Every structure is written in C-alpha cells, then in structure tokens.
C-alpha cells in the first residue's frame, strides 16, 4: 500500500485535455474528485453515481501487472473507474470507465505527454478504437470498427451533417491498397468513394429521414462473403458485405438508410459509397452490388421493401430490451432479459416475409442462446438450443440451420462444463474432441465444420500428435479449399514439416527495405511473430535482447509484426527501439507470412540454424537460452 501511495498522483487540470491525474506533492485524490472525470468522447454509457452515492464511494491504490494507480469502488465494492500509470513516470496515462463492473471505455495517452490520443470502447460497448494523433479530442481515424458500428457512424454523420465523421468510415485509396484490390474493381470503388465524399454534405442537408432525434436501431444484411484472390484485381481474399441497410427510428417512425457495399480493411469495416435514406413505405432501389451483383440479377423490386409494421414493432422492442440488458446486474434479471430476447428473435424470424431472411434471425437466436449459456447467465439456453436443433433437424431443407445450431450448442456445453465447480478438465476436453469428431461426420459440408476441424488439429498439435494434426489440416484444405481457414491450414502443415528443412522467408521491412532470411546464413536466427497487443511477446523481447547481447555476431533476430496497422508498429518501435530487423505486411494474423506458416497464436517463434534450416518450429522463451547454447557451442 505504501509503495502505491508514494506515487503521489493528484488531480490537476492540463489544457484542453480536461481533468487528468498529474504528478504533484499533494494528498491522494478523493473518490469524489475521481468521479468528476469523464470520458473525452461523448457517446459512452458508463456508471455515474448520484451525489449521495458518490459520497459513499471509496478510492484505493492499486497495482495491476506492475502498473500503479487507483481504482474507484461503489459502496458495494463494484468497480466504477480505474486510473493507471502504465510507463512508471508517475503520471496516469490510462483512464478506464465501467458499467456494472465491466470496463466499457478507456482514454489512452500512448505517447505519455498527458493528453489522450486514443479512445477505446470495450466489452458490451462494442469494438471501436479511435485514433487522435493531433490530440484535439476528435477522432481522426479508426484502428478498429465493426460493420454494425460503421453503419451507426454513417447515421450519426447524416444526423449532424458531419462530412469528416462520414469520411472516417468511407473507403479510401489507402484502404484499397492495403486490402490488395487492383484493376477495374478498385477504380470503380475509388470513384464511388470520391463521389460520395464530395456530395455527402449536400445530400445530408437535403434528406428528411435522419435528424438529431434519429437513433440507429439495427444492422441489416446477409452474412458477409469472401471474394477469393483470383487474379482479377483481387490479390488477397476480401471479406465483403453487399446491400447493407441501417435501420433507424425517429420519434417512433421507422426508416432505413441503404449503405450498400462494405469491405473489411486493416482498420475495420468501411463503406464504399453514398448512403441512401429510405423512409417507411418507400420502395428501396439499391444499386447492383460490386462483387455479388449476379445474386440480385432477378430480384423483384418489391423484395427491397422495408419490414412490415409487426416486424418494426418487434425490432423496436428488441432495441429497448438490449438497452436494458446493458444495465442488468442480477443473474435473475439477466436470465429474464435473455429469455425475452430469444422470444423476440424467434417471433421476428417467424414474421419475416422473405424465406431467406428467416435463417439470419434464427442464427442470431442461436448465437444469443449460446453466448448466454457459455457465460452462465442463462443455463436454460442449452436446452432451448437442443429444442431448436431438433426442430430444424426434423424439417425438410433445414439441415444447414440444424448444423449451425448444433455447433453453438456444443460450444455452449463445453464452456459451461469448464466453468462448473470441480470440473474434470481432461474428461471435458476428451468429450469436446469426441463431439467435434461426431459433428464433422454428421455435417461434412457445414461451414462450421472447417472450424471444428481446426480445433481438432490444434488439439492434436498441442498434444504433440503432429501426424494427426496434419491430417486434420489437410482435410480442411481438401474439403474447404475456398475458405479463409484453408490457407491457414496449408501453412500449418508447412510449419509442422519445416524442421530440418531450409526455410525460405523474406518480406518487406518496416521501413520498406527487403528482409531476407537467406542473408543471415552462418548465424543462428530467431524468427518472432508478434504484435503490439500481445503482452507475452513484448515481455519475451527483454530476454531476447539479453541473449542477443550475450551471443553477439553469431546470433540474429527477425521480427514479424502482425498488427493490422503499420503505424501502431512504428509507434511502438519508436518508443521501444529493438536492435533487429522487423518485417511488416498488411493483414495481421491473415497476412501472407502468417498464412504461409500457419501462425494461429502469438507469440510463435522459430529457431533457424547456421545453414538456414529450422531446428525448432515453436521454441518457447524458457527454452531459447539452452537451444542457443547447444547451437553455438
């Protein structure tokens, strides 16, 4: 306790950044002072005690993973705030806000200059991660944002006529380059985006559907599809949505904003053109999709109409229910709200006009039941999944849905078993693998079968059963050659077979210069796959530095950074210089080198001998010193 209190952080005011914790020779902050701090971004739903409640709250020093700071607790001991000094300079640089004991948002000072430059929404609050390099409290770009959140940003931009906010989720030429799109499709997308950026403000001012009282309620769209790298301008697999719609409500009146094509980029999802507001009852006439247009060639115009009044009412109730769920605290309340959500999803599915829409809602129902059962919030979810599975299994033409539901039921049962008191982990793991094998036999063509096979392959690999692991990886490649999992599986086989073979590895360095393993012959080389968000990999680097200093010119290291944003790697290396070469190529865990070697977890490290041959395809940091001593004896 004394060490934490000696940190002596007190509340100060620093310019436009607002209230922050700063170094001062003053008393520790009080809970009331700490609770006056607020998130920099406005749309954060976090716990805000009343004045009477705040008077009963308490603040305590805390040390978390070696980082010091304070935690603010409610009278009942629920975490309300957490403020940490992450770099040891005695100034808080991480401000965390909670809802019902769960962190939902944080302001981050990543360059430690006492001004926040990153903003993250977490857990129940979503996936958004905004960057603000000029530290003016306005997000300049997204490091991560989901498709759902991107459409909500479009609606918010329409409501405020904010062109800059719209541009942040609009596809750019840099995005096209990052995802490897070339040729006519790239030109078409670039032209659509440029046109949308130029005309957005005029359109936003003239449309009548969305205003400052409009709220985004729902994301509408079929499941995303993979556009494979086929040489026709698509150089890497693309994850794409077509004909996306954002559902909105303004004072009880429902409408839609047609979003169109969306593409997954290293910085999250991006929209590819101008949104089109569609009022209730108005026929929606979207443009033909860029990638999947053939699927809509003969769709009657009437099929694009919005949901009927009954469905709109159910959607509105679903939205309100989800808002209540965020604030739910007791297990009984969470279970009740989950059960009602499941009932609504089933009613929406049954009320859907189009047969192709029903499976989407049933899938969401299965996801809801499975997720709630896994967390223990709704144990009855497993029985409901069983009933749903039996219903689809007995119905003609519903085998694909039956397979979808069963995989989520098996996953929920596995998680619930692991969380049970006195759980027999070896027995549970054995049963899980048996269930996966049974699933693969029963549903050989289900999309989830590739994931089941991957889980089986991983289990065999971690158990040291390389031949069995390669067998499962090979089946993925053979049965699902066009799936994103197939590339990873093929690379995993290459990695498993790599010991004793010369490894051909080269890639673009962080500064653009080619890094080639062949240039390191006569040295022992460690190849480290890492990312700036993988703490174990960052911790390993300290020991790697020591070994590099000990063995000098006979030992070399090549880092392969798997972040989605090159800027994040550059920023980290600027703050924490590393004395070895770094390769960076876009795509993260789906980048070229990660796929070519089947990298599934981080950190992963390979050790290469003086002749360029792999001697250990998965060396652990605890083994590295011994391995180096043997090779350099």
As a whole number, mean pLDDT of residues 307-314 equals 69
Q: Among the listed ranges 151-155, 224-228, 476-480, which one has the minimum average pLDDT value?
A: 224-228
The pLDDT of residue 308 is above 80? no
CATH class of this structure's domain 506-631: alpha beta
b/e per residue 159-198 (b: at least 16 CB within 10 A):
bebbbebbebbbbbeebbebbbbeeebbeebbebbeebbe
Say if residue 66 is exposed, middle or buried (CB neighbours under 10 Å; 0-12, 13-18, 19+).
exposed
- Please give the pLDDT value at position 134: 86
pLDDT tens digits, 114-139: 889 999 999 988 999 999 988 888 89
Residue extent(s) of CATH 3.40.30.10 domains in the chain: 506-631
pLDDT tens digits, 377-412: 888 889 999 999 999 989 888 888 999 999 999 999
- Please give the pLDDT value at position 578: 95
- Please give the pLDDT value at position 552: 85
**Is residue 489 very low, low, confident or very high in pLDDT (cuts 50, 70, 90)?**
very high
Percent above pLDDT 70 for the chain: 89
Residue extent(s) of CATH 3.10.450 domains in the chain: 143-286
Contact, 133 vs 140, CB < 8 A? Answer: yes
Average pLDDT of the chain to the nearest whole number: 84
Distance CA 510, CA 501 (A): 27
- Please give the pLDDT value at position 323: 67
The pLDDT of residue 146 is above 90? yes
Distances (CA, A) of 87 to 65, 83, 567, 617: 11, 13, 20, 33
pTM above 0.75, yes or no: no
**Of 160, 243, 158, 261, the residue nearest 209 (C-alpha):** 158
- Please give the pLDDT value at position 124: 83
Domain 143-286: give its CATH code: 3.10.450
CATH class of this structure's domain 311-485: mainly alpha
The pLDDT of residue 15 is above 80? no
Distance CA 169, CA 284 (A): 23
Distances (CA, A) of 106 to 15, 312, 372, 382: 19, 34, 25, 34
Residue extent(s) of CATH 1.25.40 domains in the chain: 311-485
What is residue 87's DSSP assignment? Answer: S
The pLDDT of residue 227 is above 70? yes
- Please give the pLDDT value at position 232: 64
Cis omega (within 30 of 0) on the bond before 515? Answer: no
Tokens describing residue 144: 């991560």
Cα torsion 60, 66, 68, 72: sign: negative
Percent above pLDDT 90 for the chain: 43
3 state SS of 329 = coil
DSSP 446-507: -HHHHHHHHHHHHHHHHTT-HHHHHHHHHHHHHH-TTSHHHHHHHHHHHHHT-BTSB---EE
Contact, 190 vs 173, CB < 8 A? Answer: yes
What is the separation of C-alpha 335 from the centre of its chain, rounded to a whole number of angstroms? 26
pLDDT tens digits, 59-108: 999 987 788 899 999 999 999 999 999 988 888 999 999 998 999 999 99
> Residue 391: enclosing H or E segment and its boundaries?
helix 381-394
As a whole number, mean pLDDT of residues 613-626 equals 95
Tokens describing residue 234: 């698509």
């Amino acid at each position: 306790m004394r060490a934490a209190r000696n940190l002596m952080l007190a509340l100060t005011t620093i310019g436009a950044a607002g209230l922050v914790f700063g170094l001062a020779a003053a008393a520790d902050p009080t809970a009331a002072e700490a609770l006056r701090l607020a998130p920099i971004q406005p749309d954060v739903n976090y716990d805000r005690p009343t004045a009477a409640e705040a008077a009963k709250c308490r603040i305590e020093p805390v040390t978390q993973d070696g980082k010091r700071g304070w935690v603010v607790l409610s009278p009942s001991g629920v975490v309300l705030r957490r403020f940490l000094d992450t770099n040891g300079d005695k100034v808080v640089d991480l401000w965390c806000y909670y809802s019902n004991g769960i962190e939902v948002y944080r302001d981050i000072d990543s360059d430690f200059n006492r001004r926040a430059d990153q903003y993250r929404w977490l857990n129940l609050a979503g996936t958004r991660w905004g960057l603000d390099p000029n530290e003016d409290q306005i997000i300049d770009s997204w490091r991560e944002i989901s498709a759902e959140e991107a459409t909500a940003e479009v609606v918010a931009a329409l409501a405020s006529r904010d062109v800059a906010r719209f541009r942040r989720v609009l596809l750019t030429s840099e995005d096209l380059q990052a995802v490897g799109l070339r040729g006519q499709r790239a030109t078409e997308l670039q032209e659509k985006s440029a046109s949308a950026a130029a005309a957005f403000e005029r359109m936003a001012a003239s449309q009548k559907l969305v205003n400052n009282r409009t709220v985004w309620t729902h994301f509408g769209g079929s499941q995303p599809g993979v556009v494979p790298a086929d040489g026709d301008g698509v150089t890497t697999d693309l994850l794409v949505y077509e004909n996306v719609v954002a559902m909105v409500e303004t004072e009880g009146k429902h409408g839609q904003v047609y979003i169109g094509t969306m593409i997954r980029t290293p910085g999250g999802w991006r929209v590819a053109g101008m949104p089109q507001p569609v009022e209730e009852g108005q026929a929606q006439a979207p443009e033909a999709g860029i990638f999947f247009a053939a699927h809509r060639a003969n769709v009657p115009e009437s099929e694009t109409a919005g949901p009927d009044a009954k469905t709109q009412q159910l959607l509105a109730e679903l939205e309100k229910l989800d808002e209540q769920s965020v604030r739910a605290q007791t297990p009984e309340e969470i279970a009740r709200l989950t059960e009602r959500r499941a009932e609504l999803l089933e009613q929406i599915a049954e009320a859907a006009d189009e047969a192709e829409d029903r499976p989407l809602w049933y899938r969401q129902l299965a996801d809801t039941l499975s997720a709630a059962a896994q967390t223990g919030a709704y144990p009855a979810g497993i029985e409901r999944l069983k009933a749903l599975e039996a219903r689809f299994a007995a119905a003609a033409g519903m085998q694909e849905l039956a397979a979808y539901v069963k995989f989520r039921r098996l996953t929920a049962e596995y998680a619930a078993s692991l969380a049970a008191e006195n759980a027999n982990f070896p027995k549970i793991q054995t049963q899980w693998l048996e269930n996966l094998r049974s699933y693969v036999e029963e549903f050989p063509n289900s999309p989830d079968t590739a994931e089941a096979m991957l889980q089986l392959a991983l289990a065999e690999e971690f158990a040291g059963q390389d031949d069995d692991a390669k067998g499962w990886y090979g089946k993925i490649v053979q049965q699902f050659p066009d799936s994103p999992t197939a590339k990873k599986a093929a690379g995993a086989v290459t990695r498993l077979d790599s010991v004793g073979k010369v490894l051909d590895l080269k890639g673009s360095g962080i500064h653009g210069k080619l890094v080639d393993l062949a240039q390191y012959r006569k040295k022992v080389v460690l190849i480290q796959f890492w990312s700036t968000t993988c703490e174990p990999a960052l911790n390993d680097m300290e020991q790697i530095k020591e070994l590099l200093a000990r063995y000098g010119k006979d030992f070399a290291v090549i880092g392969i950074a798997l972040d989605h944003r090159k800027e994040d790697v550059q920023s980290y290396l600027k703050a924490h210089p590393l004395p070895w070469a770094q390769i960076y190529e876009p795509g993260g865990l789906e980048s070229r080198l990660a796929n070519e070697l089947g990298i599934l977890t981080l950190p992963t490290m390979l050790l290469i001998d003086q002749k360029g041959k792999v001697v250990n395809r998965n060396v652990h940091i605890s083994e590295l010193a011994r391995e180096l001593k043997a090779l350099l004896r």
